[in-house]
Structure 1
């Protein structure tokens, strides 16, 4: 069996590791020179309902990436506006360790490789089966099943059209080329999130160099993991409505600078004019780490999702699955891992000629994937952004009694639903 995955963010990495554990030969094509995508500047885990989702994945036997992240946690049980029991991981060390883990598992990681065209697409009675693709070097890559984990950020034309132009973010499209979607290459219709008449959404955070901050701020970050700074009224920048990460769109994020220690200083704002930022006490020498033009804007995301089944099989395709933000307006690292593991699992099952599996509806993961899939069928649903850590999905988790930090309760729920160690068992 050969499984081909486009995109090496958290979703693609989770899919690749799961498929490799099941005995498949896995090719992971990542267009940049490193893995983890936006996870390379993210750094937040286990906040709010993400704790529950990660616990379910561990109980199901699909928690390998969470284990790696746990080995690189800088701070645990950090609390800030609207967020409880968050863990902050070292973004540099985590990505490097994930790459080593994938290579040890036998994954053929092809960095600086973009899949740019379909080489063989078989069509029959309204269904399509992807047989082979071609990368920018002209190599033909055949597969029994494929996974689109290319995300929804970029290319630069999207950032120019819906945002504030290319701001040199971690995606680095001008250097490595813009994102190319496997689904789009197969003729699958993609859609954007829409809010206040605008398409897409803006990445919700920036990174500042810790060395550019005042000593008292660095001390707070090192000791507590968080530093919260009041913004003078005449310097406030309110761009909450544009954020992809709705859990960080509370009013407090407009009136405070919230910094988190992920190795860098993660600033919970999509952008903040540098000339204003440097007028805030303690930030007089502040410099952006990501994006480099964080004083002007940030990357545009949520412009290329697709309709899919609860199994993450792309509608209209026989052997193409999706993961990460491709599955809908589903935002976050935990969310990417949850979809990636399932996509990798079902890609192998498809290649083996076995029936596909979906998360049980009694679980937070299963309820989220089904409900978001239903929401993506409607224009109103596409206006929302969904995450286990806040906004409408977290509210739903609490209403349905799915949110808990009791690992015993989580394991019991998964076991009663028939999902215990499902990802660790050979199909």
Structure 2
């Protein structure tokens, strides 16, 4: 019997790639990871895939022609059954290559829309009540004018980054012009070109949730616990969200309208929404054409027994995923943050944190290790660790996760050039 292959473009840091690979290996399918320069992938990813026996090969994954050529050569050695990515920056490329090879996947045009906040807003504009007020601005002056028109406070964000990078709540024109100028100076980030423009949006003040979706159907809603303004860091998640029936129906309806408007109706998607101040309506913050990050799929699995990585891979292999989800527990994800700057001298308490009742995972973020020098950048990369715990309800799950977090102790000393900050 000839081997069967699924090709992944790159890999995220929070475990979804490894979870998908395990599922495939258990079914006799060989996953392969493509990266432009495998040596530059994070050592924790290289370690995980090596332990799984998953090969990482070099290919220019920013070129559809190069990836197609690699896949066509691979197909001479066995049966190529899927091409995809579960990493934000390459979901659209995975969809393009899959379509060219006649394989299952999302609409490439829809996947590309999800990679651009301006295209996303344009796609949803035909459906009343999905978008907040918004404007695209290509200069600090235009951004300030847009904010004046929308009304303060506003949110300013890059058009094509992820992980809350350079997303800020702004109270006045000085805040708007400062963050806009910073975004426009970037040029590139993590090897990706950054569009020299920003989205200026109405600040929606209510509670935030995400909808976890497969094939356009909401499986469940996740409560998102955010940081204090002006940053928009996600400090935790709770699945399933504890909501009244009316609010749950509202959020599900909005999320399903959003993915339909964007065109992401095959495979996984992750829609972020916020309630309005009165809690009677909601606006869509973002549509992502991929499985959720931040270990949310693991929280879904712990709470309900349904694995979203498995659902995605089942669809990729041509099967029909079972979209029935019944949660009988609650899972909470709690993030610990690094200090603004410092030299990390010691990390203690991991075993004690794991010993807390109901805790499933205590995981240091890739790159967080004794000996690093760190300066915060105002994004989700400022996290030190995550903890996942289960409970009978929201309060118990969160309490267990936070108790475990208190067991982890990070010992810091000042950076040599920032000793005055200590």
TM above 0.5, one fold? no
Instruction: Give TM class, smaller chain.
Output: 0.3 to 0.5
Q: Between Structure 1 and Structure 2, whose CA radius of gyration is higher?
A: 2
- Normalising by structure 2, what TM-score? 0.34
Higher normalized contact order (CA 8 Å, seq sep 6+, divided by chain length): 1
The structure with the largest strand share of the pair is 2
- Normalising by structure 1, what TM-score? 0.34
